[in-house]
Amino acid sequence: MARRIEYFGEPVLTLAQVAFQCRVEPEDMEPSLIEQIIIPGVTTQCESKTGASIRGAVYEEEWPTGFASGHALDIGQATEVVSVDVRQPDGSWAAHTGSIELRQDQRESFLSFPSGRPSGSLRIRYKAGVDLDLHPGVRNWLLMAAATIYRHPEMFLVGQALAELPSAFLDHLVAEITVPPRF
């Protein structure tokens, strides 16, 4: 399973966008609630639901020896491979210097080694993030989720975390980027 190393870039929603969706003036909202809890919360929920990176982030995952060239990366919407390291017999890691190819499909991204996959375990670091202009339904999902939480905080805010949103309608907005199960 890939782990997020760091986010980069701006959050996927702004206070002004959430205010517009809620039909409230931004100055009438509580900015810290929106920017520190609701926006990160709905972003994380969408990432968890889809398996795709919604906000731009750097991820790292390890591939065991059995993963062949052309295997899918764990996180959908990968855009760039930052590095590939190969485990050496002594346990250390060395940078892979051969060619790599990242193929992006709608839901998944696949990493290939045109010159042949290096032997041994691999540590792959890559950038991922959804293009909200190509997938406007994702932005709509995020805005509707944020507005629902803002309008009904007693149902969704549990301390400093968010409870799961109802899924029947909203899931269809993110279906086109949802990574299929891999078991």
18, 42 in Cβ contact below 8 A?
Answer: no
Please name which of 44, 5, 37 lies closest in space to residue 18, comparing C-alpha atoms.
37
Instruction: Please tell me the pTM assigned to this model.
Output: 0.85
State both tokens at 41. Answer: 């919360």
Do the strands 78-87 and 122-128 form a parallel or antiparallel pair, or are they unpaired? antiparallel
**Does the CA dihedral 137-57-64-100 come out positive or negative?**
positive
Mean pLDDT, all residues of the chain: 89
For the stretch 89-140, pLDDT in tens is 999 999 999 999 999 998 999 999 999 999 999 999 999 999 999 999 999 9
